[in-house]
Structure 1
């Protein structure tokens, strides 16, 4: 439907509901002569007279009654649809669709969602946990959460966290049997439990830094997994030496079930970022989430 055709139907309905051209013109913000011509153009286009006009009254013809009966609910529904979409740009409601890695879900997203909903209880946060999705535009997500160095190109990124401490750990039983490594190079003679990226299949290197010296170490061992919980269970059973995030091992370090190794080396994972495509008309729900994240990090 062209814009002029919609304007004709809107003009017709305004007159049909009031049976008065002047009141309908005032409602639409038009001059009465302009409204009269618009209705006449509609009648010419349809080839049907829609109103009976006299100097004292206006009434619908049979064709006009039929058109009003069918048109009134359609335009009302159209108006509600437009208002519903417009509401996405204002107010504290709507939906935000996020996709994140498993690590981000476990370490960040639950706490973030709980805090966000304390301020915005009417905004629905829909989270998909998937290590493989990277193109949020093609996959119809509003934003994604990933480790910094895995971000898409041409995306705007907002930091969610700082760097995450990692620990090289082993069970006391393993260390008693095989000894304790004193440097990263000593790991070459140990059974190291390695982590593999779920989608790419890449085995993650272990990164170490002390002062200006920084290097990646590719360990060797007889177990490769893509699940932190499985790796942790194997470590607790004395299978070897592992390389895990501090939140995953902190309780076991405190209890003595695991021992932190090579503590004079700095071992960290890059921060998590929330990334999104900048648009002229960003959904208000996403904007409110981003504003909340800025406050949440302070």
Structure 2
């Protein structure tokens, strides 16, 4: 009876966390109909509906949320304990899930992973690229990457990159028949290439600062993208001014393919930090990655 209850609870927790029977079934290695039947049997035995099902999503009911809050942390402790057993072999092992935006994933995470993973074949890493402000606890990520000023105070933050600067840039072809902006406010008279943020669905307001004065400008233009590489491609093609991390455009500036604008309005700011919930003890695999990512001047 206990074994059946644990199996049923495992099935319920997997579906509740994934928000999908299909995804949970793939995670557990069972068929979707079998998983659905298991959860229905648990609901029948408890006499309450645990999951609200629609054609598009699955989410816990009030009773399901209460059960998840009770058994979820216990399962997490078991998972962490099993991962910790690898330490007895002297070989860190386990899966680490990290969420980051595309720029951080390519310029910070991937170089570190290339260095460390060949020496630790037991460590698996899942990197989820997302421009939104993901709740790493709710989405069951082990850690996330954000700029230093955006990390919540209740999280542990580890600096993993140097200070950054943004750069407003445009191609020589775009600027040939236009006057270069001297102040951020002048951007309203230019074609600018926008970035749409997924968190609130709005467009990113370009931020500038000089001599303690902060300015946020809502720009306009023909093009809006939700990925930075496309914005860079459009700027190189002469479709307008882009506002991008300096390291992503420096090579194009050096080759004269782009021209930097408003440089005195783009001071350095705190770079990327890895952040994660405060715990008394982290799995060895996670600690290996933290040390590999830690920024050293």
Q: If the TM-score is normalised by the length of the shorter chain, which range does it land in?
A: 0.5 to 0.7
Contact map agreement 1:167 1:267 (CA 8 A) in 2: no
Counterpart of 1:102 in structure 2 is 102
How has the CA–CA distance of structure 1 residues 82 and 259 changed in structure 2, closer, same or farther, with 3 Å as cutoff?
closer
Counterpart of 2:148 in structure 1 is 148
The one-character-per-residue Cα deviations of 1:190-232 (angstroms, maximum 9, x if unpaired) are 1121211134222112222222222222222232221112211
Counterpart of 2:186 in structure 1 is 186
SS of corresponding position for 1:110: helix
Counterpart of 1:93 in structure 2 is 92
Normalised to the residue count of structure 2, the TM-score between the two structures is 0.65
Contact map agreement 1:196 1:202 (CA 8 A) in 2: yes
How has the CA–CA distance of structure 1 residues 122 and 236 changed in structure 2, closer, same or farther, with 3 Å as cutoff?
same
CA distance in 1, matches of 2:120, 2:242: 40
The one-character-per-residue Cα deviations of 1:38-86 (angstroms, maximum 9, x if unpaired) are xxxxxxxxxxxxxxxxxxxxxxxxxxxxxxxxxxxxxxxxxxx999544
How has the CA–CA distance of structure 1 residues 117 and 232 changed in structure 2, closer, same or farther, with 3 Å as cutoff?
same
SS of corresponding position for 1:264: helix
Contact map agreement 1:98 1:145 (CA 8 A) in 2: yes
Matches within 5 A, 1:132-281: 132=132, 134-152=134-152, 154-268=154-268, 270-281=270-281
Contact map agreement 1:89 1:282 (CA 8 A) in 2: no
CA distance in 2, matches of 1:175, 1:260: 11
CA distance in 2, matches of 1:137, 1:186: 42
Counterpart of 1:59 in structure 2 is none
How has the CA–CA distance of structure 1 residues 176 and 86 changed in structure 2, closer, same or farther, with 3 Å as cutoff?
closer
How has the CA–CA distance of structure 1 residues 88 and 185 changed in structure 2, closer, same or farther, with 3 Å as cutoff?
same
CA distance in 2, matches of 1:150, 1:288: 24
CA distance in 1, matches of 2:244, 2:80: 50
List gaps (5 residues or longer) in structure 2.
3-78
CA distance in 2, matches of 1:83, 1:135: 24
CA RMSD after TM alignment: 2.7
CA distance in 1, matches of 2:153, 2:86: 27
Question: After TM superposition, where is structure 1 displaced by more than 6 Å over at least 4 residues in a row?
Answer: none
* Greater C-alpha Rg: 1
Counterpart of 2:283 in structure 1 is 283
Counterpart of 1:15 in structure 2 is none
